[in-house]
Structure 1
Amino acid sequence: MDLGLKGRKAIVCASSKGLGKACATALAEAGCDIVVNGRHVETLEATAQELMRAGVSVTAVLADVSTPEGQKALLAACPEPDILVNNNGGPPFRDFRELDRQAILDGVTQNMVTPIELIKAVLDGMAARRFGRIVNITSTSVYKPISGLDLSSGARAGLTSFLAGVARTVAKDNVTINNILPGIFDTDRIRSGIRFGAERAGIEPEKETERRMSAIPAGRFGAPEEFGQACAFLCSAQAGYITGQNLIIDGGAYNSAF
């Protein structure tokens, strides 16, 4: 399927690995020129080289997207993006009682303030050019809270509510804002979590993997490529009538009729 994205310009935040990389890969395969971003130079450069195989222009920006300097670097590399994919690491697993004021503010900055700042920077230009696609990678924890990830859940839920109204103000300009809520995907981060969980439980990682998969109706973890292709579709020319939505991709783990 031709997504109508050849020659479009995309900024994909925190995209040197994991789900961000999957989104960047799918957009590159659809013909987008990509600004890829990460904080570790070797990983970032390796990803940039991979993306270039799609025959598109790839610019690697080594930066922390949560900082004003990092955001300026991204926007300097692509002043007029057609697509913005917001992604960022979340606060670490921690009992909420251990959070002090600064930790809370940092978490809100990472997962709410940062994407809003980037959207503010690009939204009017997208509207003026009559094309824009913004996708925010959040989490199913927005709907299904996970104890210990309360700060991440709260910040991402705040972002979701904040943008619900904003999305409706630019729909007439062919600019869409949507969120993708991932469940468990087979990424380095999840594998690390499995090892940690197995150690705490005193079991083998394979047993912990089986335990987690058994709670998913699909009976498996998601493949990052599946996530990336869903993101690419939301960015496509054909998705202009989809806005202000939360797309859960979790193999059916979130049990709800609505």
Structure 2
Amino acid sequence: MKGLDLGLEGRNAIVCASSKGLGRACAIALAEAGANVVINGRDHEALEATARDIRDRAGVTVTPVVADVSTPEGQQALLAACPAPDILVNNNGGPAYRDFRELDRADIAHGLEQNMITPIELIKAVIDGMVERKFGRIVNITSATVYSPVAGLDLSSGARAGLTAFLAGVARSVAQHNVTINQMLPGIFATNRMTESMSVAARNQQKEVSEVEKQRLTGIPAGRFGDPDEFGRLCAFLCSNHAGYIVGQNIVVDGGAYQSCF
């Protein structure tokens, strides 16, 4: 059976923080759908390895940009590599697990910069061009903790929730121009970050990593951790021609862990 054509052949995408993890999965899926991708990370070797992998898989133009997307210089570098993107996938590392009592003003400001201010700045830079060209897809990777809080991730959750609320009206103001803004809210996915967090939790709780893994799985109705590839493919669909009527939505991708009727 012929696969679904997403209509992304020749489109240009910026995928932030995409050398590893979920950002990488999104860049791969977009490239496999035919989009040229600008990928980004701070680790030169990891970024180049991802660029080679995507070129081998998809044969599209892949432009790696080594930069911290949270900085004005990093954003300028991304936009210089792709001045008129059709697609923007906002992604960034967040504040580490930490009791809120330990956060000072500078810590809070930095968390907001990473997970709220940076994506807003990038959206401001690209949205008018998308409106003018009558096509634009913006996907913000936030977190399932926006809906289901985890003590210790308060700053990360708060910044991402702020981004969500900020963009709710913006999304609806540009939808008539075939420009969409949506959020993807991942739960626990099988990434390096998940492995690291479980190792830290195991040390703090004086348990084996396998015990921590079993404990976390009990809260996921699907009975498994997410596969980054399935996350990437959903991102590609949201960026496709078929998703123009999906506007201002927060799509939880967590195997059913967040329990709600609506």
Give TM-score scaled by structure 1 length.
0.99
Counterpart of 2:68 in structure 1 is 64
| 1:162-215 deviation line (CA, Å, top 9, x unaligned) | 000000010000000000000000000000111111122222111211111111
Aligned position for 2:8: 5
- Does 2:94 align with 1:84? no
Aligned to 2:54: 51
1:239 aligns to 2:243 (yes or no):
yes
Instruction: Map 1:132-171 to 2 at 5 A.
Output: 132-171=136-175
Secondary structure of 2:220 counterpart: coil
Aligned partner of 1:77: which letter? A
Does residue 215 of structure 2 align to residue 211 of structure 1?
yes
Q: Distance in 1 between the 2:98 and 2:214 partners? A: 24
- 1:47-79 per-residue CA deviation (whole Å, 9 max, x = no partner) reads 000111211000000000000000000000000
Q: How far apart, CA to CA, are the structure 2 residues paired with 1:106 and 1:199?
A: 27
Matched, 1:221 2:187: no
**Distance in 2 between residues matched to 1:57 and 1:164, nearest whole Å:** 32
For 2:208 and 2:151, the matched residues in 1 are separated by 23
- Aligned partners of 1:7 and 1:196: how far apart in 2? 42
Q: Which is worse superposed, 123-132 or 203-212?
A: 203-212
For the residues of structure 2 that align with 1:135 and 1:61, how far apart are their CA atoms? 19
Residue 39 of structure 1 corresponds to 42
How many residues are treated as equivalent by the alignment?
258
* Structure 2 runs not aligned, ≥5 long: none
> Residues 209-245 of structure 1, C-alpha deviation per residue, up to 9 Å, x if partnerless?
1111111000110000010001000000000000100
Match of 2:17 in 1: 14
Provide the rounded CA distance (Å) in 1 between the counterparts of 2:178 and 2:219.
Answer: 39
Gapped regions of structure 1 (runs ≥ 5): none
Looking at structure 2, the residues matched to 148 and 211 of structure 1 have their Cα atoms a distance apart, in angstroms, of 18
Structure 1 letter corresponding to 2:100:
F
CA distance in 2, matches of 1:77, 1:9: 10
Give the counterpart letter for 1:17 in structure 2: K
Helix, strand or coil: the match of 2:29? helix
Task: Give the secondary-structure state (helix, strand or coil) at the position aligned to 2:247.
Answer: coil
Q: Provide the C-alpha distance between the structure 2 equivalents of 1:208 and 1:90, rounded to a whole number of angstroms.
A: 22
CA distance in 2, matches of 1:101, 1:203: 34
Aligned partner (choices 28, 31, 40) of residue 28 of structure 1? 31
| Matched-pair identity in % | 68
Task: Find 1:95's aligned residue among 95, 99, 104.
Answer: 99
> What is the rounded CA distance, in whole Å, between the counterparts of 2:60 and 2:102 in structure 1?
46
Separation in 2 of the partners of 1:31 and 1:67?
A: 29
Give the match's secondary structure for 1:136: strand
Give the RMSD, CA atoms, in angstroms.
0.5
Alignment correspondent of 1:126: 130
Query: Matches of 2:30 and 2:215 in 1, distance apart?
Result: 33
